Amino acid sequence: MREDRPSETAAIVAVMRGLAPWLPEGGQLAEDPYGLRFARPWMRPLLKLPRRMLLSRGMLARLALWMQLRTRALDDYVKAFRGQVVLLGAGFDCRALRLPGKVFFEVDHPATQRRKRAVVGTPEGVQFVSWNFESQPMSELPAKLASLGHVAARPTLTIWEGVTPFLSEAAIAASVAAVRVWSSPGSQLAFTYIERRAQTPFQQALVALVGEPWRFGWHPDELPAWMAAHGMKLLSDESDAELAARLLPPSLAARLRLPGRHVALAEPA
């Protein structure tokens, strides 16, 4: 991503989450009253159009539905978890505000985090850590978290949502190694990924246009072994279609058509 600018994709997914109330009935799986606050100036003309119409069909509808699925699946993990939460690549994720009552550590790129804090301030129970996953040593992140009150001896849920496509494989491996260090028994890593084969040239071009090209994606068949080789045990891996079948009414599940997206859960091996 661009060094000096907040993440555009973080703004896009936050706004998509914020548009949930305008999705067709049955599509609202996770409320995010903060999402639209992160709209960038270039989105405003689009947001002035009738929102129900905007989200009835087409690419935006699919994206908004996928955001509901992944947000809800991860929200459920947060709600079920007793312990601290680390948001790795937090972006404009407002779970600390939406699901209060836990200690949150939000780790993100400095420019993105500055914008987040300018919009929502410092919510109670949140510690912010500015970190570039590509250029700063991930091996030093556990100590940084500890200096801010993270207790590695207690279980941690790490949420890594919408981040893996944007990192190099080296940064992915270093991130998982760091998660391993701060994850005592009972900890979990919940993450999303987009299969490499589903990263179409059209979608690639769109993310490259905003300066955040996709760089990585597992194949679901290789994920368990990859995780095992990095000290983690894969507990579950749900595809877009499986999540849609579980959480959406059939009429909306049929509209998703955004294949190759996954929400997965792992624990220290």
Ligand X SMILES: C[S@@+](CC[C@H](N)C(=O)[O-])C[C@H]1O[C@@H](n2cnc3c(N)ncnc32)[C@H](O)[C@@H]1O
Cα 81 from Cα 205, distance rounded (Å): 37
> Where are any strands of DSSP class E within the chain?
84-88, 104-108, 126-130, 156-160, 188-194, 232-239, 261-268
Smallest gap from Cβ 13 to ligand X, in A, equals: 4
Task: CB nearer to ligand X: give 119 or 151.
Answer: 119
Q: Of 1, 2, 3, 38, whose CA–CA distance to 17 is shortest? A: 38
Applying CB under 6 A, among 72, 98, 109, 262 the residue interacting with ligand X is: 109
Site for ligand X in 118-147 (CB under 6 A): 131-134
Q: Does 106 bind ligand X (CB under 6 A)?
A: no
Q: Of 240, 241, 230, 235, whose CA–CA distance to 264 is shortest? A: 235
Q: Does 9 bind ligand X (CB under 6 A)?
A: yes
Q: Of 174, 199, 193, whose CA–CA distance to 265 is shortest? A: 193
Q: Does 98 bind ligand X (CB under 6 A)?
A: no
* Two structure tokens written together for 239: 């595809």
* Two structure tokens written together for 211: 């300066």
Q: Does 91 bind ligand X (CB under 6 A)?
A: yes
Smallest gap from Cβ 28 to ligand X, in A, equals: 17
Q: Does 166 bind ligand X (CB under 6 A)?
A: yes
Residue 254: CB atoms within 10 Å = 10
Smallest gap from Cβ 258 to ligand X, in A, equals: 15
Smallest gap from Cβ 14 to ligand X, in A, equals: 6
Applying CB under 6 A, among 112, 175, 187, 188 the residue interacting with ligand X is: 112
Cα 196 from Cα 59, distance rounded (Å): 19
Strands, sheet with 156-160, edge to edge from the N-terminal-most edge strand:
126-130, 104-108, 84-88, 156-160, 188-194, 261-268, 232-239
Residue 250: CB atoms within 10 Å = 10
Candidate segments 39-47, 144-152, 157-165, 256-264, binder of ligand X by CB under 6 A:
157-165
Pattern 58-87, ligand X, x by CB under 6 A? ------------------------------
Applying CB under 6 A, among 14, 145, 176, 189 the residue interacting with ligand X is: 14
Applying CB under 6 A, among 18, 27, 162, 260 the residue interacting with ligand X is: 162
- The site for ligand X (CB under 6 A) is made up of 1, 7, 9-10, 13-14, 89-93, 108-109, 112, 131-134, 161-163, 166
